[in-house]
Amino acid sequence: MANHPVRVGLEEMLYHGFIGKFGKENVVDYPYIAHFHGKEPEPPWYSNCNFEEDDVRYSREDAYAMKDSYDLAVIGSMRKENRMDVIVPDLLSWGLACPIVAVDGEDCPYGPMVQKPLYDDPRIRLYFSRQYLEGFHGKLEKCRPISSAVYGEPGLTKEELQAERPIDVMMSMGLESFRASVLEVLKTLPCRTYFNTEGPPYARSPVATHRKMLLSSKIALSVTGDSYSYDQYQYYRIPYYGALLFASRRPTVIVDNFVDWESAVFFDVPSEIPGLVKRLLDSPETLKTIVENGRTLLLEKHTSVARVEYILKRLNS
């Protein structure tokens, strides 16, 4: 895998999935990234891969020497930070016999336009976009949707998932204009709420506190931001911790997405929120069923290994 040392989310998830699918001895991450190996503290919105014992560092010479043994090469980032504009062309010049796929994890949904030279490169078999819009990306022949997935979270017991949840509605994310309007509506709800919106994105709360609050909440919100941030790790972490995913509707394609009032609940405008929350809290059995369906779907379709299997399936179809 070709990656860069700035955390954006999809590289970690894919590395975790390839290790889970094929074993660490069969996966090369180049260049070395410390937080793949648990060498950096976790920020609240992503998880470390939790492979502390896996600390093999592959140099450029190491990775090149093994080039004829690779079955698949995944370009996990195309950003210019940290020399990816040098590393990726170098990788493409190696004459790899295996398929090469690129994964665009940028927030902007028009990544293939920004990265058009890479998309147009005949050596790239498929180009996966995290912010896939049907009307734009659907017209690009070798572009496919991909989204975040849950990974690296601690295992949960049945007792933890079924424990009392004193918080009715939780929202923990940075405030942009749409999110701010959602928060103003949430503050009017006649129920027990928890909001954590202060400070810079990666300093709002320790990740352990964030997980604890999710385990204490019946309903948790995932709300899109203003800068095309449609795909969010929070979207998948919420059902993992047994809270109901209450989300603003996304315009992007999410394969095997959660279904409204079956495995999640969606809203389009903030004014819908009070009625939807009341309906959920007035019907505990409905809420419980949606939560259970959401977590089941998550563990089947939205894990790091599931994302790797999805890439392999698309390559072979």
The whole-number average pLDDT for the span 262-281 is 98
pLDDT at position 201: 47
pLDDT band at 268 (very low <50, low <70, confident <90, very high): very high
pLDDT at position 202: 45
Average pLDDT, the chain: 86
- 167-180 pLDDT, tens digit each: 999 998 877 778 99
pLDDT band at 113 (very low <50, low <70, confident <90, very high): low
H helices present in the chain, as ranges? 10-22, 60-65, 84-92, 111-114, 116-120, 134-137, 158-162, 177-186, 207-215, 234-240, 273-281, 284-301, 304-316
More confident of the two residues 241 and 116: 241
Residues facing 75 on adjacent strands:
2, 102
Q: What is the bridge-based pairing of β-strands 100-104 and 126-129? A: parallel
pLDDT at position 84: 73
pLDDT-above-70 percentage for the chain: 83
pLDDT at position 166: 98
pLDDT at position 159: 97
Q: Helix, strand, or coil here: 75?
A: strand
pLDDT at 296 over 90: yes
pLDDT at position 5: 43
Within 8 A by CB and 6+ apart from 56, the residues are 24
pLDDT band at 279 (very low <50, low <70, confident <90, very high): very high
The region of weakest confidence among 11-25, 35-49, 85-99, 127-141 is 35-49
- 40-84 pLDDT, tens digit each: 665 555 666 666 566 678 899 999 999 999 999 999 877 666 567
The whole-number average pLDDT for the span 73-96 is 83
pLDDT at 200 over 60: no
Kindly report whether the global pTM for this prediction surpasses the value 0.85.
yes
Q: Helix, strand, or coil here: 188?
A: coil
The whole-number average pLDDT for the span 193-213 is 71
Give 139's DSSP letter. Answer: T
The whole-angstrom separation of Cα 42 and Cα 266 is 29
